Amino acid sequence: MEKPVLYEVQDGIAVVTLNRPERRNAINQSLLVHLYDAIDEVATNPEIRVAILTGNGVSFCSGIDLAVIGSENLFDPRGDGRDFPEVIGACRKPVIGAINGHAITGGLEVALNCDFLIASDRASFADTHARVGIQPGWGMTQLLQQAVGRRMALQMSLTCQFVSAQRALEIGLVNEVVPHERLMPRALEIARQILEAKPDVLAAIKELIEFRDRTTTQGGLAEERRAFMKLLENSPLRR
C-alpha cells in the first residue's frame, strides 16, 4: 500500500507530498500521522533548510475525509497532544505550499499554515466549513483574513464559493500562479534561492515577521531593533 504522505530530501530541500489521490488527498488519521512526522523531521534535521508541501493528483487537499469523522482521531492523531498548527508552528524553517489543485476547507487551512503559496493554474480554493457543518479548528478564521483581508475572508467563508487560482493571486491568497507543469520547478527554484541565505539571519527574519502577529507595529519595530543591537554586540561591524 502506498504511504499517505511521500517524503524526499535533496540538497537541503524536503518535498512533502500528500498522497491519497484516490480520495483527493482527504485528511484521515494515517495521513496526519505521516504528515506530522514529516514536518517534525524537517524541523529537527539540520541538513534540511526548507520544505515544499504539495499534493499528488488533481487536488492539493480536499479537507477532512467525511467517511472517518467519529471513527478516527483527527485532532490528536499521534496521541501526543499536538495538533496541526502546533506541529507546523514548531517548524522554524520555511515551508512553501505548492498548490497543485483543489485546496478545500481543512485543505485550505493546511495551505494557510505554510509560509507562502505558489499555485498551479489548475488550483482553486474554498472554505466550505459552514456548508458541511464543521467549525474551523486549524486557523481558518484568523489566517484567511490575515492573507486576504477581513471582508474578503468573510465573503469566502460565508458563501463557501470557490476562488480560482487567478482570483487567489488578485486577492493576495497566493504569491504566484504558474502553468501546472511549472509548479514544482518554480517551487524548487524558490527553495534554492532560500538556500543561498545565511541560515541564522533567515531564521531571525522569519521570526521577526511572525512576531508582528503578536504585537503592534511599534512593538515589532522595537523587537527588531533589540534583536539587531544584540547581534551587533558581537559583530565585526561594531569594531
List, as one string, the DSSP characters of 63-123. -B-GGGTTTS-SSSTTSSS--HHHHHHT--S-EEEEE-SEEETHHHHHHHTSSEEEEETT-
Do 53 and 157 lie in one domain? The reply is yes
Say what the pLDDT of residue 192 is: 98
State the maximum Cα–Cα separation within the chain, in Å, rounded to a whole number: 64
User: If you search the block for the grid coordinates 511572525, which residue do you land on?
Assistant: 210
Do 36 and 48 reside in the same domain of the chain?
Answer: yes
Q: Do 39 and 95 fall into the same domain?
A: yes
Q: Which residues of 3-13 are buried (b: 16+ CB within 10 A; e: fewer)?
A: ebbebeeeebb
- Same domain membership, residue 207 and residue 101: no
Helix (H, G, I), strand (E, B) or coil at 178: strand
| pLDDT tens-place values along the chain, 239 residues long | 789 999 999 999 999 999 999 999 999 999 999 999 999 999 999 999 999 999 999 999 999 999 998 899 998 999 999 999 999 999 999 999 999 999 999 999 999 999 999 999 999 999 999 999 999 999 999 999 999 999 999 999 999 999 999 999 999 999 999 999 999 999 999 999 999 999 888 988 998 888 878 878 888 788 888 877 877 776 655 55
Range of the domain at 31: 5-195
Q: Based on the domain organization, do 144 and 233 belong to the same domain?
A: no
215 and 127 belong to one structural domain: no
User: In the chain, what percentage of residues exceed pLDDT 90?
Assistant: 80
pLDDT for position 220:
74
Which ranges constitute the DSSP H helices of the chain? 29-44, 84-89, 106-112, 129-132, 140-148, 150-159, 165-170, 183-195, 199-211, 217-233
Q: Identify whether the C-beta of residue 110 lies closer than 8 Å to the C-beta of residue 103.
A: yes
pLDDT tens, 87-115?
Answer: 999 999 999 999 999 999 999 999 999 99
**Residues 203 and 191 both lie in one domain:** no
**Quick one: 211 and 185 in the same domain?**
no
Domain count, the chain: 2
